[in-house]
Amino acid sequence: QVQLVESGGGLVQAGGSLRLSCAASGRTFSTYTMAWFRQAPGKEREFLAAISSITWSGPNTRYADSVKGRFTISRDNAKNSVYLEMNSLKPEDTAIYYCATKLGGLRINIDDYNYWGQGTQVTVSS
């Protein structure tokens, strides 16, 4: 069983930045693919970014087109944590942000992820 706890959400003005953190329980964190999703009011949950487990060439990452170049996902296996650095935030980035994890390779489909955090609210004012 893996437990995930997100933090770092809040209210920020358009153009600003936030860094979300997700702390995971479990001794095999380094073997899990980690991802961030978000869900805005009235919309479906959408994929944002994912980072694979560490390989000999370093972790692989993948981003949704809507956040590519603005958001950066990273992980610190020593701290059992994954992060989402968000820059140039826009009002349309307002949503609840969720951390998720799965064993195996990197995927962007929500149904592939087994464990989810409770989410953290991000609100971007115009």
The predicted-structure confidence for 27-71, as pLDDT tens digits, reads as follows 788 889 999 999 999 999 999 999 998 776 678 999 999 999 999
Which DSSP letter does residue 77 get?
A: G
> How does pLDDT run across 64-121, given as a tens digit for each residue?
999 999 999 999 999 999 999 999 999 999 999 999 999 888 999 999 999 999 999 9
Residue 10: count of CB within 10 angstroms of its CB = 12
The dihedral built from the CA positions of residue 53, 82, 94 and 114, taken in this order, carries a sign that is positive
- pLDDT of 79 reads 93
Q: Closest Cα to residue 126, out of 101, 98, 95, 92?
A: 92
